[in-house]
Amino acid sequence: MAETDEPEGSGVRLAIASIGICGTDVGFAANGVQGYTYGHEFAETAADGRSYAVEPTVYCGECGQCRQGHVQRCDDQAHGTLGIFRDGGMCDAITVPENMLVPLPPGLDVRDACLVEPASVAGHGVRAAALEKGERVAIVGGGSVGLLAAATARQRGFDVDVEARHEHQRNAAERLEAGSVTGTYDVVIDAAGSEAGLARCAELARPGGRVVLLGVYQHTAPIPGIVSLVKELTYVHSIAYSRHDGVRDTEEAAALLAGDPEIARTVITHRFPLDDAAEAFRVAGDRAAGAIKVVLHP
């Protein structure tokens, strides 16, 4: 496999160790999107032997949003994400700016550290939910982000129930000590990204409850009107990851994974060599294959 071109400015050259295939990658590949190297979920090892996950957000650090820690909302025209319409980590080696590096804590294997990025997405969403002590939490969707959101909320002291479409997802949720949905909830997290999933979120939310949108909707989010009005639901949007009190969401995600290796063992279901990327993408897009997170290794 080729190495990516070195970006403008200084950076650190790293050997890729693990790359996660995201649903966004699968969708782009299915629609023939080309012209750059895929891969925004990746981890690597530097020449000195130190290992890192990558926070792939490109941001200026100077605008008002960046100064407040909201780098995912950067106002600069160059704002974006490695692996999404610009070269990413689905290769043998890459040079990235030093501010993208997330040092791996003890206990987190670099082969599992590609999960830091989706775990950061999940963690940012759980934070956006503004959970209060004693609130009931449900997650609709048993993919990697839904399961990582469940693990995050559990780690923060909340009981979590997960509604998943497929048996292997339900089994994974059970391994992460999430229950089955019953009754209504103070907070419901949409990790399905589908019209049916969002309708189910509204159904599960209590009157006055909150629905957090982690699912990606390319055009219009199909928010159910009547039930949302009658219940006076609040919809909270969440994208990517940020900083709070000087701490990066990616750092918290790395600590979560290091503190409980069962999370990676549960969420990563398939591994392929990078040269078998075509088969890996096929499996990642085949729900009947039992895949949750498919990981590539050079």
Phi-psi region of 205 (alpha: psi -120 to 50; beta: other; left: phi over 0): beta
Per the CB < 8 A criterion, the answer to whether 252 and 229 are in contact is no
pLDDT for residue 1: 46
Tokens of 296: 């590539």
| Residue linked to tokens 């775990």 | 119
Length of the chain: 298
pLDDT for residue 261: 97
Per the CB < 8 A criterion, the answer to whether 24 and 41 are in contact is no
d(CA 222, CA 243): 30
Sign of CA dihedral 83, 56, 72, 23: positive
Which ranges of the chain have pLDDT less than 70? 1-10
Answer yes or no: pTM beyond 0.85. Answer: yes
pLDDT for residue 176: 98
Model confidence pLDDT, tens digit, residues 88-143: 999 999 999 999 999 999 999 999 999 999 999 999 999 999 999 999 999 999 99
DSSP string, 109-170: -TTTGGGHHHHHHHHHHHHHTT--TT--EEEE--SHHHHHHHHHHHHTT--EEEE-SSHHHH
Query: Which one, of 120, 111, 75, lies nearest residue 261 by Cα?
Result: 111
d(CA 78, CA 88): 15
d(CA 175, CA 166): 15
Q: Which residues contact 228 (CB under 8 A, 6 or more apart)?
A: 202, 235
pLDDT for residue 8: 45
Model confidence pLDDT, tens digit, residues 15-34: 999 999 999 999 999 999 99
pLDDT for residue 4: 58
pLDDT for residue 2: 52
